[in-house]
């Protein structure tokens, strides 16, 4: 894909000084020869891809998981993961996309469909026979940690049901829940709402779309553009009036902040306003804390808690605010993971040819959790797919830090994953 403007991420290839630091950190090239590494497929291959070439010269770039560890370590600021994503999009534009990737890219649609009859959908998706068929027919690895649909209704159902109990206030914040919270894990949204309300904020949950990341990472840029366009038109207005837009899914917020505008070369005023007004929920809560406005009436949580800041969170380049705030909770014994990646990287580890790579990548993290000893009951991680992978790799339940915070406020039951009755 030729650079279409001087804003294009493609041009960051010029920053590369060939130092190989990215290659020595890439978790994928460390475990498989099928992937030649970030420097090779990124800034280097890009010089051979430019131009209206009739076909893409290379395809191994498809093995990049998009974890962005390379971006994190590159000393000169090459946007390697984005270069790779664009190269993949070019391949998709040429070759078309297998049904599997189309499905995996349409998280939101799947979520909606399953929610009509979640119990049935869960059975249909999770029995051994259909997983076997899914692998054979579509190439979705049968062992991969697919989510289950919420059987107690969607997040929006809950909002509607509890409409009368929701806080009204002059202080307002906009919540971006993302597809996973909507259809699979409504309790994450509940935890977020009660934490925000506990701090005196009214939570606005506008109509919203999938952020489009699954489409972006599967190379369907045109469809992603439509999604992003919808979100921009629904949300930019709030950002313009100065309301923060916060999200619990680190990948959704990253997409609104950075991935969609950069990958799609989408830089108009509303998109930029939305980009600047979007926060990871802990990023924003930390700002409250620093302003002395965060309530710290935490109850002790006597737990040993290994915490993994997922790649998509680290890509925000905001430090680890969830870790900082959880550290305020009395008796919570946090252990910080320095593993590079859990391996799943969105939908990467679902694909049969990549399942084992994802598990090998994740081994570093799984080992870390194991090393914390027998009395660990939960792990914590901000990203949904990473939590599912963590659970798959360690057999321990995993929680979002917002659930931990809600529990410490005494508003949330960590085991049942629901707000405590009577507390809103």
Q: Look at the alpha carbons of 232, 235, 237, 240 in this order and tell me if their dihedral is positive or negative.
A: negative
Q: Which of other proteins, ligand SF4, none binds 47 (CB below 5-8 Å, type-dependent)?
A: other proteins
Radius of gyration (C-alpha) of the chain in whole angstroms: 21
Show the binding pattern over residues 331-370: x = contacts other proteins (CB under 8 A), - = does not. Answer: ----------------------------------------
For residue 186, state whether it binds ligand SF4 (rule: CB under 6 A). Answer: no
**61 binds ligand SF4, rule: CB under 6 A:** no
Q: Give ∠ CA 174-179-183 in degrees, rounded to 5.
A: 110
How far is the C-alpha of 108 from the C-alpha of 106, rounded, in Å? 5
Is 22 one of the binding residues for ligand SF4 (CB under 6 A)?
Answer: yes
Smaller CB separation from ligand SF4, 235 or 357: 357
Residues 320, 286: Cα–Cα separation, whole Å = 10
Distant-in-sequence, close-in-space partners of 31: CB < 8 Å, separation ≥ 6? 357, 360, 361
Give the pair of three-digit tokens for residue 257: 């902040």
How distant is the alpha carbon of residue 415 from its chain centre?
A: 23
Based on the shown chain and the rule CB under 8 A, indicate whether residue 267 belongs to the binding site for other proteins.
no
The two tokens of residue 412 are 């949330």
Closest contact distance (angstroms) between CB of 101 and other proteins is: 21
Q: Which residues of 214-237 are buried (b: 16+ CB within 10 A; e: fewer)?
A: bbbbbbbbebbbebbbebbeebbe
Q: Does 32 bind other proteins (CB under 8 A)?
A: no
The piece of 6-14, 108-116, 138-146, 157-165 that touches other proteins (CB under 8 A) is 6-14
User: What separation, in Å, do the N-terminal and C-terminal C-alpha atoms of the chain show?
Assistant: 52
Please check whether residue 3 is in contact with residue 10, taking contact to mean a CB–CB distance below 8 angstroms.
yes
Q: Is 26 in the site for ligand SF4 (CB under 6 A)?
A: yes
Is 339 a binding residue for ligand SF4 by CB under 6 A? The answer is no
Residue 66, sorted as left (phi over 0), alpha (psi -120 to 50) or beta, turns out to be: left
**DSSP strands (E only) in 252-360:** 278-280, 303-308, 332-336
Residues pairing with 418 in the sheet: 413
By CB under 8 A, tell whether 36 contacts other proteins: yes
Stretch that binds ligand SF4, among 11-19, 87-95, 135-143, 144-152 (CB under 6 A): 11-19
Whether residue 87 contacts residue 48, with contact meaning beta carbons closer than 8 Å, is answered with: no
Q: Which stretch binds other proteins (CB under 8 A): 2-10, 235-243, 395-403, 415-423?
A: 2-10
Smallest gap from Cβ 78 to ligand SF4, in A, equals: 4
> Which residues in the 62-101 window bind ligand SF4 by CB under 6 A?
64-70, 74, 76, 78, 80-81, 84
Q: Report the nearest approach of ligand SF4 to the CB of residue 67 (Å).
A: 4
Binds other proteins (CB under 8 A): choice among 6, 129, 297, 374: 6
> 72 to 101, contacts with other proteins by CB under 8 A?
76
Per CB under 8 A, the list member of 22, 28, 31, 40 interacting with other proteins is 40
Q: Tell me the C-alpha distance between 72 and 232, whole Å.
A: 27
**Could you say which of other proteins, ligand SF4, none residue 69 binds, taking C-beta under 5 to 8 angstroms by partner kind?**
ligand SF4
One residue of 9, 28, 31, 60 binding other proteins per CB under 8 A:
60
Nearer to other proteins, 36 or 244 (CB): 36
- Tell me the three state secondary structure of residue 205: coil
**Contacts to ligand SF4 by CB under 6 A:** 16-22, 26, 28, 38-39, 42-43, 64-70, 74, 76, 78, 80-81, 84
């Amino acid at each position: 894909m030729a650079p279409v403007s001087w804003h294009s991420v493609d041009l960051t290839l010029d920053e590369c000084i060939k130092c190989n630091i990215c290659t020595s950190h890439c978790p994928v090239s460390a475990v498989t020869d099928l992937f030649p590494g970030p420097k090779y497929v990124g800034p280097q291959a890009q010089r051979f891809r430019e131009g209206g070439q009739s076909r893409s010269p290379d395809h191994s770039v498809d093995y990049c998981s998009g974890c962005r560890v390379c971006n994190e370590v590159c000393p000169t600021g090459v946007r390697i993961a984005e270069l790779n994503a664009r190269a993949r999009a070019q391949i998709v534009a040429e070759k078309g996309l297998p049904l599997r990737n189309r499905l995996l890219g349409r998280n939101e649609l799947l979520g909606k469909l399953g929610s009509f009859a979640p119990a049935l959908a869960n059975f249909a998706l999770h029995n051994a026979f259909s997983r076997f068929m899914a692998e054979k027919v579509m190439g979705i690895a049968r062992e991969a940690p697919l989510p289950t649909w919420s059987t107690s209704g969607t997040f929006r159902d809950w909002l509607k049901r509890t409409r009368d109990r929701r806080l009204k206030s002059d202080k307002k914040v906009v919540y971006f829940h993302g597809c996973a919270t909507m259809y699979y894990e409504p309790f994450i949204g509940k935890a977020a709402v009660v934490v925000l309300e506990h701090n005196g904020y009214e939570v606005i949950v506008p109509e919203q779309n999938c952020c489009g990341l699954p489409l972006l990472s599967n190379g369907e840029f045109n469809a992603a553009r439509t999604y992003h366009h919808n979100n921009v038109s629904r949300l930019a207005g709030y950002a313009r009036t100065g309301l923060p837009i916060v999200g619990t899914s680190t990948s959704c917020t990253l997409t609104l902040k950075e991935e969609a505008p950069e990958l799609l070369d989408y830089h108009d005023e509303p998109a930029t306003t939305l980009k600047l007004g979007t926060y990871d929920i802990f990023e924003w809560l930390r700002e409250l804390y620093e302003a002395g406005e965060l309530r710290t009436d935490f109850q002790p949580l006597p737990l040993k808690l290994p915490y993994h800041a997922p790649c998509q969170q680290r890509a925000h380049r905001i430090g680890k605010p969830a870790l900082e705030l959880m550290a305020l909770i009395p008796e919570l014994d946090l252990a910080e993971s320095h593993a590079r990646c859990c391996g799943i990287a969105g939908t990467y580890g679902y694909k049969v040819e990549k399942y084992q790579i994802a598990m090998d990548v994740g081994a570093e993290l799984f080992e870390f959790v194991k090393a914390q000893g027998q009395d660990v009951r939960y792990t914590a991680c901000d990203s949904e797919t990473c939590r599912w992978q963590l659970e798959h790799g360690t057999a321990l339940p995993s929680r979002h830090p917002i659930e931990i915070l809600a529990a410490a406020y005494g508003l949330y039951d960590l085991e049942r994953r629901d707000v405590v009755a009577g507390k809103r």
